[in-house]
Structure 1
């Protein structure tokens, strides 16, 4: 079977389980061949379908996320290793990096804190963006921290990134110029579908109203930000008012940034400058 036919057949089968069946097929076949997707598309006339492709396709048909099958996910300007021990980085979360860039403009944050770092996506993307910055990633999962540390080493960022086992910012000493956080925000009774069914529950659920972790994080952020510093915090699309109220109660200024779909996605919390 030719590469072109294999991709057509795989995409047709994946159409029942994926919103991006053709892309999924290309990524799986490229992974089976040990190539990047662009190389697959450019060289398909010279390639043969490897035996391992069928097994990868079956895994995706069973609902397993592409990122866990290939073990790789691109985020911002970096490529990350991901495992089922970490949340899969998503394009919507890049909104936090965009908000930070807009805040700092032509200057750089010096110290960065990433709460609930997971794969290290936010911290490492920020360090790649600002070569003079250093940062700390905190997570309650030792397995997630191992993934983050490996990503830092592979990206050549280990000298500027450190990772700590911790419960949010408990015991953390500031101040920090930039705080990044993508906490769990799904209500515990909410029914999930798709890729999230395979992701760690500890990174998804946050009590009956989805706000448990924001209640803990808000006062921590207020005490760790520098004057004029900023925290970029991911929220669920319907949580703008509820989370903003928690941050304002800590005397933080709050603004919102929308994601690519036009949904509220990032709250930008600032500590007013004392100068």
Structure 2
């Protein structure tokens, strides 16, 4: 039998034995933290959480087969969020799909940056999210700024539909609209906040990405052109017509791209007011506004 299609747990194996089998095969496939990932997959199959697994000892044949299939998918480096169909972001539980990037903790830095520069929750009344994907940034912002409304735009209709479902899932669909479109081409008006997590991986670096990302997430959401800055040039050029007088733009950036942002902002009459690092110290969120004075 091929190594990438391991036999399942022994018939009649209990839950603990199944988890041991799953952890071993995920470890052999090079998956980080394989024991935890095996438990997460088992919790998904059983419709419980990690704490709930402690109360379980047995699993039926259907559960064993479903768990084995999930382990095989993860061992092939399919992302966990594609297998479970969900991911957590900020305080939200979001539906995911191969149509969009998977929300990541790194991107929560953008919400932290916005809260730091706009601590008054009444100060933000309108939010635009360009390249919204799952809707994670827009919906997280709306969950914090309760008087705000928002618009999310994604070039992929499947992504816009997914974001709309997540808005309903979060109980925020009465305060936002999700649209399919090319960046801000169809948007009129100004916003207190403009978010974007655009494609920023230089083309030459795409082949070196982890297989979980390279082989399963949409290339259009990763490929930032020759230097990784193509989307930023288009977006920052559009910001002067999108930002309210005292508005802020909060963009995610890749490794080393903080060095390019000041010049891009300056040429559009903007200035950088903050660059915030993620939990491992990598500059991740850049905050821009209209140049003062």
Asked if Structure 1 and Structure 2 have the same fold, meaning a TM-score greater than 0.5 normalized by the shorter chain, the answer is yes
**Aligned-partner Cα distance in 2 for 1:8–1:194:** 24
TM-score by length of 2: 0.89
Instruction: Name the residue aligned to 1:129.
Output: 144
Instruction: Name the residue aligned to 1:81.
Output: 95
Q: Deviations over 1:208-255 (max 9, x none)?
A: 111110010001122211122111100001111113321122121212
**Aligned-partner Cα distance in 1 for 2:35–2:165:** 30
Task: Quote how far apart the aligned CAs of 1:272 are.
Answer: 4.6
Q: 1:273 to 1:133 in 2, by over 3 A?
A: farther
Gap runs ≥5 in structure 1:
none
Question: 2:281 matched to 1:267?
Answer: no
Q: Deviations over 1:36-57 (max 9, x none)?
A: 23322x3234x42613100011
Instruction: Name the residue aligned to 2:79.
Output: 65
Task: Quote how far apart the aligned CAs of 1:23 are.
Answer: 2.2
Instruction: Name the residue aligned to 1:110.
Output: 125
Where do 4+ consecutive residues of structure 1 move more than 3 Å? none
Task: Quote how far apart the aligned CAs of 1:168 are.
Answer: 0.7
Instruction: Name the residue aligned to 1:217.
Output: 235
Aligned length: 272
Q: Deviations over 1:170-194 (max 9, x none)?
A: 1312210111100000111222223
Gap runs ≥5 in structure 2:
1-12
Point out the structure with max Rg over C-alpha: 2
Larger mean CA deviation between 90-99 and 245-254 belongs to 245-254
Task: Quote how far apart the aligned CAs of 1:117 are.
Answer: 0.3
RMSD: 1.5
Q: 1:150 to 1:106 in 2, by over 3 A?
A: same
Instruction: Name the residue aligned to 1:10.
Output: 22
Does structure 2 retain, via aligned residues, the 8 Å contact 1:178–1:225? yes
Task: Quote how far apart the aligned CAs of 1:207 are.
Answer: 1.0
Instruction: Name the residue aligned to 1:230.
Output: 248
SS at match of 1:185: coil
Instruction: Name the residue aligned to 1:195.
Output: 212
Does structure 2 retain, via aligned residues, the 8 Å contact 1:215–1:246? yes
Instruction: Name the residue aligned to 2:5.
Output: none
Does structure 2 retain, via aligned residues, the 8 Å contact 1:152–1:158? yes
